[in-house]
Homo-oligomer: A and B are copies of this chain.
Amino acid sequence: MSEFTSEKAFLEAYSIHEYDVPLLTVDMAIFSVLEDQLQVLLVKRAQHPSLGKWALPGGFVDTKRDKSLVETAKRKLRAKTGVATPYVEQVETFGGPERDPRGWSVTVAYMALIPAEGVELVPDDASSEVIWVPVKEMGSEYLLAFDHQSIFEVCLERLKNKVQYSSLPVNLLPKAFTLTELQRTFEIVLGQTVEKKSFRRRILDAGILEETGAMKTGSSRPAKLYRVRPEGQAYFFPRTIEGKR
Contact = CB atoms under 8 A, between A and B. Distances in A.
Interface size, A (range): 35 or more
Interface stretch (A33-41, A94-102, A188-196, A208-216): A94-102
A29 B122 CA distance: 41
A102 B11 contact: yes
Nearest to A50: B7
A69 B49 contact: no
Interface string A172-183: 000000000000
State the oligomeric state as a number of copies: 2
A104 B20 CA distance: 16
Interface in A39-92: 46-51, 60-61, 63-64, 67-69, 90, 92
Contact of A93 (B4, B90, B96, B238): B90
A22 interface: yes
B61 A104 contact: yes
Interface of A: 1-2, 4, 7, 10-11, 14, 16-17, 19-24, 46-51, 60-61, 63-64, 67-69, 90, 92-97, 101-104, 106, 108, 128, 238-240, 242
